[in-house]
Amino acid sequence: MNRRPSLPCFFVSLLAGVALISLTASCARLPYTTKMVHEDARVVVALQHEIDQPAYSHPGQLDPAELREILQGFSFRPKQRMPLRWFAEENPPKPVFRQDELDVLTGPLAEGLRAAAPGERVHFELRAPGFNPTVRRDVVGGWMAIRDPYLYVTLEYAHVQIPTRKSDLYDYNYPTPPPPPAEYLLYFEPGRFWSADAQGVPALDYRAFLKMPKVGTSPGP
């Protein structure tokens, strides 16, 4: 009787390992929304529960004027691999936020920080009409959190075209999920305040920045 050749044991083990890794990755827990703080056609701010329980210094006490002063100092570049990084670094970083965006964002962000618990971060989206406004919107999005004396800011979308519909226009059974968050390099000016915490995570020493004497003011006695 002919027998089908069997797979080597190491190959079977390899397949089982790949399947286990895939299953584990698919079941990975992600931050999830716990409360919608603000939502309109232009701005969405929500609280998200952090899975790893980072124990932030929340509620945070930053008013809209302080947030504007901080956020207008951020700029970014898309994160590139070699050799594209050489060409990307020839162009100066772009501001993360325009002034009109800060006009509508800082108030809801301040409200979100005041409402956040130690295990929550504040997620935000700035929305504008996309190239085809009927099916796409232009999104600047990310999240922030405070662990004194640091402010953590992560940029996930920088003017990315995201579908306005949750399902395909021609087939309602076909979902249209947003693209995965992109990777960006963040910069801050003045650069001496953009450093890293004890774990090496990039962060802004926002308290030292806000204490810095402003242009046109005296440092006091």
> Shortest CA distance to 144 belongs to which of 171, 177, 105, 182?
105
User: Residue 123: its pLDDT value, please?
Assistant: 97
For β-strands 120-129 and 43-49, DSSP reports them as antiparallel
Q: Which tokens in the block code for residue 207?
A: 């308290």
Residues in the chain, how many? 221
pLDDT tens digits, 93-111: 899 999 999 999 999 999 9
**Cis before 108 (ω within 30):** no
Q: Which residue has the higher pLDDT, 28 or 76?
A: 76
Give the containing element (helix H, strand E) for 21: helix 9-26
- Distance between CA 137 and CA 156 in Å, rounded? 15
User: Residue 80: its pLDDT value, please?
Assistant: 62
Mean pLDDT of all residues in the chain? Answer: 80
Mean pLDDT of 19-40: 68
pTM of this structure: 0.76
User: Residue 172: its pLDDT value, please?
Assistant: 52
- Distance between CA 105 and CA 107 in Å, rounded? 6
Mean pLDDT of 41-55: 89
CB 137 within 8 A of CB 164: yes
pLDDT band at 142 (very low <50, low <70, confident <90, very high): very high
Mean pLDDT of 6-15: 40
- Distance between CA 42 and CA 124 in Å, rounded? 11
> Shortest CA distance to 56 belongs to which of 105, 106, 115, 107?
115
Q: In this model, does residue 144 exceed pLDDT 60?
A: yes
Q: Tell me how crowded residue 120 is: count the other CB atoms within 10 A of its CB.
A: 25
Q: Which residue has the higher pLDDT, 4 or 112?
A: 112
The H-assigned helical ranges of the chain are: 9-26, 64-71, 84-88, 99-115, 206-211
pLDDT band at 6 (very low <50, low <70, confident <90, very high): very low
> Shortest CA distance to 76 belongs to which of 30, 141, 125?
141
